[in-house]
Amino acid sequence: MGGLWRPGWRWIAFWGERCSRLGPSFGAAERVEPFLRLGCSGTRSAVTGLRRLGTWKRPSRARDPAEQPGRRLKSTNPFTRAQEEDWRRRNKTVLTYVAAAAVGMLGASYAAVPLYRLYCQTTGLGGSAVAGHASDQIENMVPVKDRIIKVTFNADVHASLQWNFRPQQTEIYVVPGETALAFYKAKNPTDKPVIGISTYNVVPFEAGQYFNKIQCFCFEEQRLNPQEEVDMPVFFYIDPEFAEDPRMVNVDLITLSYTFFEAKEGHKLPVPGYN
Amino acid sequence: MSTAMNFGSKSFQPRPPDKGSFPLDHFGECQRFKEKFLRCLRESGFENASCRKQSKEYLECRMERQLMAREPLEKLGFGDLTDGQSEARSPF
């Protein structure tokens, strides 16, 4: 038989000699050796140790099956052979840890996506929605009277939508913490009912996280009958924390811009927010 | 939504409104109140603070006509205006 396949048996014999016990053959020495060593300690029998072999999973063993048939040890001296065995075992342990770390890194990179989202929501960085803004906050907020902000309004319509859509006031002066009302007007000059859906935009982007709309007409389909003209109100406020943000010191003008699109069958406008 | 594809630049994230969408006032039931509010705005130089009473009346009109979910006005930020309401309602 090839020398590569025989060493397993030799090692079992070797260990058996050392512990003055003989264990049945179970394949490669690496698998059996720790259990025989258990037996060598004298507190447990080799049988118990080997019984454990069937039930106890050693994942590190399963990872490198290529090594199982047994590699030839370099040394022939029994003392250095033990040392080499020890090194091999340690190498395998290190390899296991490194592999586990790599898998852990991969998992962490996948977990980072929802975690970052959560982080952004709690701290409000990057203009994302700040969670925890309840309606009772509106009740208790105090207007910051010395900080006047001009809010201008813009109205846009997608090319395929034939509505006349415009704001009914050019600007409004508000202070943070004060609720304000603004109006847009939309008219359907065609002879067919048209359904539109709108989205909005706030510039500057950083101020957008402080711009809270209590109620408006966006993200829901609005149907206009032929030749119909309606008023579309927007009820909003600017968060009082706006006045305390150092990045907003130079912001005196906020532009609210609405754009209407035609709502087609089966076409879904992406509704914002992570809920 | 920002269409600039630069990585790491701040982009705007639109948020849905807190209380949803206003139903459309197809019959113009609250148009009078809206006109009053806009007239007040024009007269005061588009200052919101001076026209809050009119905006409150507009929202009350909407609530009465089922065009808006009924809510106590304090929750809409009109707490300072509702104190005087119970004592003297100006007839018009």
Would you list the DSSP string of chain B?
Answer: ------TT---------TT-BPPP-TT-TTHHHHHHHHHHHHHTTSBGGGGHHHHHHHHHHHHHTTSS----GGGGT-HHHHTTTTT-PPP-
Beta-carbon pairs below 8 A across chains A and B: 144
Question: CA A173, CA A252: separation in Å to the nearest integer?
Answer: 10
Q: Which of A70-79, A235-244, B34-43 has the lowest mean pLDDT?
A: A70-79
Which chain B positions have a beta carbon within 8 Å of A217's beta carbon?
Answer: 21-22, 24
Interval A105-145: pLDDT, tens:
999 999 999 998 888 777 766 554 454 455 567 777 888 88
Please judge whether A213 and B17 are an interchain contact, meaning their C-beta atoms are less than 8 angstroms apart. Answer: yes
Average pLDDT over residues A248-272: 80
**Ranges assigned E (strand) in A107-244:** 149-157, 164-167, 171-174, 179-187, 194-203, 211-215, 222-224, 229-238
Which chain A positions have a beta carbon within 8 Å of B2's beta carbon?
Answer: 205
Report which of B77, B80, B83 is spatially closest to residue B59, judged by C-alpha positions. Answer: B77
Would you list the DSSP string of B63-88?
Answer: HHTTSS----GGGGT-HHHHTTTTT-
Contacts of A121 (CB under 8 A, 6+ apart): A128, A129, A130, A131, A274
Q: What is the 3-state secondary structure (H, E, C) of A10-36?
A: HHHHHHHHHHCCCCCCCCCHHHHHHHH
**Helix, strand, coil percentages, rounded to 5, for chain A:** 40, 25, 35
Which residues of B fall below an 8 Å CB-CB distance to A? 1-2, 10-22, 24-26, 28, 30-31, 34, 37-38, 41-42, 45-49, 52, 55, 58-59, 68, 74-79
Question: Distance between the two ends of chain A, CA-based, in angstroms?
Answer: 67
Question: CA A164, CA A157: separation in Å to the nearest integer?
Answer: 8
The alpha-carbon gap from B80 to the nearest alpha carbon of chain A, in Å, equals: 10
Is the ipTM reported for this complex over the cut 0.85? no
Which chain B positions have a beta carbon within 8 Å of A214's beta carbon?
Answer: 17-19, 76
The DSSP bridge pattern shows strands A149-157 and A211-215 to be unpaired
Which chain B positions have a beta carbon within 8 Å of A197's beta carbon?
Answer: none
Report which listed range, A126-140, A162-176, B19-33, is most confident.
A162-176
Q: Chain centroid to CA A183: how far?
A: 38
Please judge whether B15 and A272 are an interchain contact, meaning their C-beta atoms are less than 8 angstroms apart. Answer: yes
Please judge whether B78 and A175 are an interchain contact, meaning their C-beta atoms are less than 8 angstroms apart. Answer: no
The alpha-carbon gap from A169 to the nearest alpha carbon of chain B, in Å, equals: 8
The alpha-carbon gap from B1 to the nearest alpha carbon of chain A, in Å, equals: 7
Provide the pLDDT for residue A55: 60
- CA distances to A8, A20, A33, A122, A273 from A46, rounded to whole Å, are 18, 11, 10, 58, 62
Closest-CA residue of chain B to A180: B48
Average pLDDT over residues A207-220: 85
pTM (predicted TM-score): 0.59
Question: CA A199, CA B21: separation in Å to the nearest integer?
Answer: 12
Please judge whether B20 and A215 are an interchain contact, meaning their C-beta atoms are less than 8 angstroms apart. Answer: yes
Interval B44-86: pLDDT, tens:
988 888 888 888 889 888 888 888 888 888 888 887 776 644 4
